[in-house]
A = this chain, B = another copy of it.
Amino acid sequence: MNTVRKIINDPVYGFITIDHPLILQIISHPYYQRLRNIHQMAFAYLVYPGAVHSRLHHSLGAYHLMCTALAEIKGKGIEITPEEELGAKLAILLHDIGHGPFSHALESEVIAGVHHETLSLLFMERLNQEFNGALDTAIAIFTNKHPKYFLHQLISGQLDMDRLDYLIRDSFFTGVAEGVVGYDRIIKMLTVKDNQLMVEEKGIYSIEKFLVSRRLMYVQVYLHKTVIGAEMMLIKVIRRAKELIAGGVTLMAASPAFNFFLHQPPGSIFTPDQLDTFCQLDDHDIMTSVKNWMAHPDKILSLLCRSITERKLYKTTLQNEPFSHATVAEKTLSLATSLGLTAQETGYFVFTGEASITTYNVDDERINILFKNGAVKDISQVDNALISRNIESTIKKYYICYWRH
């Protein structure tokens, strides 16, 4: 009989059940608890006020889907040992543990040269040491060194539990009904053949719907112009802060940990011994610093910080082609005059860029459909499949952000 059993209320799935002592210990660990203070969707709540759910909540959700998927697959006669089951659950629980605050925006600004997946692995290895190797299988699955490939696919693949949960959860909390995914049907249709994750034939339409929902979330939510503008503004704040520090100006962040990373010499690379300092960082440090800097003597920094705090964001426009130099030059001139800045400084207030889906790694992986007659086809090869061809094209937008005075 289980000695551990904890039920967590979740507005999305109803209840999430924890029934293994190690899972409970990992969730209780400070490394994991810090994810409570990191918004899953960064600044999306500036547009969708409900989108304030945390990375902790998302990874609990992904864990829940993993439990459901493993039960389903086992129910179809595929062998999964208890150790593999625990490993897959731990791996999905920890898959995002390396995220810092405003990760997609700040990864390159605050912690240079290291990707959040690398940090996730670093955290897992630390935990593995602390728990005497109990995460060996989890790490093997996460790094795709475990022989059962389909377990890795459930962590990282076209239909992994991470992606499934974030689409569902982001759709739920934003209130963007168009993004709702029929996850229960998708999971019911999962199966395994030749060590690969497959979808049963009758799940084709659920997959089509999933691909459309995903695309609509990308276009409507993840590439929302105002959210892009807000995140760019935060990037500009950090850049200005580092520029001032590099120029010898006194500038303190609201916390020692954030201060530490801000004051790293230019060109520094993240090293594993900084992990505990990194672990102190969350959204609170960033946001408190931004608020504090509203009073900083540097006009550019203070103006940007006030703009974030008071939600006076850049006017942002998206289009499918790059913006012309003329457009940018004209706005730069106008803003340089009105703000009393040099042309170079005005780069904080008008600039262009290119946004594509960073939440989605386009790779070669397929969504395999297993037909009743045993044949296997990629969804894009299925006769009559509505949307596959269009869905695969990557989404790229050009944006211009400029200050509205």
Interface residues of A (CB under 8 A from B): 1-2, 5, 7-12, 14-15, 17, 19, 28, 30, 33, 36-37, 45-46, 48-50, 52-54, 56-57, 60, 75-77, 172-178, 180, 182, 184-185, 188, 205-206, 208-209, 212-213, 215-216, 219-220, 254-256, 280, 282-285, 287-288, 291-292, 295, 309-311, 320, 383-384, 386-387, 390-391
Given A209-B216, A310-B30, the answer on whether A11 and B50 have CB atoms closer than 8 Å is: yes
Residues of chain B within 8 A of A75, CB atoms compared: 2, 19
- Complex contacts, A310 vs chain B, CB 8 Å: 30, 33
A352–chain B nearest beta-carbon distance, Å: 19
Contact B256–A173 (Cβ < 8 Å): no
Beyond A9-B175, A49-B57, A284-B284, list 17 extra A-B contacts (CB 8 Å): A9-B50, A10-B50, A12-B175, A15-B185, A19-B75, A33-B309, A49-B56, A49-B60, A50-B53, A52-B52, A177-B184, A178-B205, A212-B212, A254-B255, A255-B288, A284-B291, A390-B390
> Which residues of B sit under 8 angstroms from A219, Cβ to Cβ?
205
Nearest-CB residue, chain B, relative to A50:
B11
A387 and B209 alpha carbons, distance in the complex (Å) = 12
25 contacts between A and B (CB under 8 A): A9-B48, A9-B174, A10-B175, A11-B50, A15-B184, A15-B188, A17-B188, A30-B309, A33-B311, A36-B49, A177-B185, A178-B182, A178-B209, A209-B213, A212-B386, A254-B292, A255-B291, A256-B292, A256-B295, A283-B284, A284-B288, A285-B288, A320-B383, A320-B384, A387-B387
Most buried by B among A48, A177, A185: A177
Q: Is B384 within 8 A of A11, CB to CB?
A: no
CA of A301 to CA of B318, assembled, Å: 49
Shortest Cβ gap from A49 to chain B (Å): 4
Per a CB cutoff under 8 Å, which of B10, B19, B37, B212 touches A387?
A: B212
Task: Tell me the complex Cα distance, A206–B309, Å.
Answer: 31
For the complex of A and B, 5 pairs with smallest distance between CB atoms: A1-B77, A9-B175, A11-B175, A288-B288, A177-B182
The smallest C-beta distance from A11 to any residue of chain B, in angstroms, reads 4
Which of A8, A33, A37, A255: most chain B CB closer than 10 A? A37
Contacts of A280 in B (CB 8 A): 291
Query: Which of B178, B283, B287 makes the CB contact (< 8 A) with A206?
Result: B178
The answer for the CA separation of A1 and B309 in the assembled complex, in Å, is 33
Smallest CB separation, A194 vs chain B (Å)? 16
Given contacts A53-B50, A60-B49, contact A176 B9 (CB under 8 A): yes
List residues of chain B with CB within 8 A of the CB of A49. 8, 10, 36, 53-54, 56-57, 60
A176 CA to B206 CA, complexed, in Å = 10
A53 to B45, CA, bound (A): 10
- Neighbouring B residues of A174 by C-beta, 8 Å: 9, 11
Q: Closest residue of chain B to A71, judged by CB?
A: B71
Nearest opposing residue in chain B for A184, CB measure: B14
Interchain CB contact under 8 A, B185 and A178: yes
Which residues in B have their C-beta under 8 angstroms from that of A320?
383-384
Bound Cα distance A172, B53 (Å): 13
**Closest CB of chain B to A69's CB: distance in Å?**
14
A280 to B254, CA, bound (A): 14
Interchain nearest-CB distance for A176 vs B (Å): 6
Give the residues in chain B near A184, CB-CB below 8 Å.
Answer: 14-15, 177
Residue in A1, A19, A288 whose Cβ sees the most chain B Cβ within 10 Å: A288
Q: Which residues of B contact A33 (CB under 8 A)?
A: 309-311
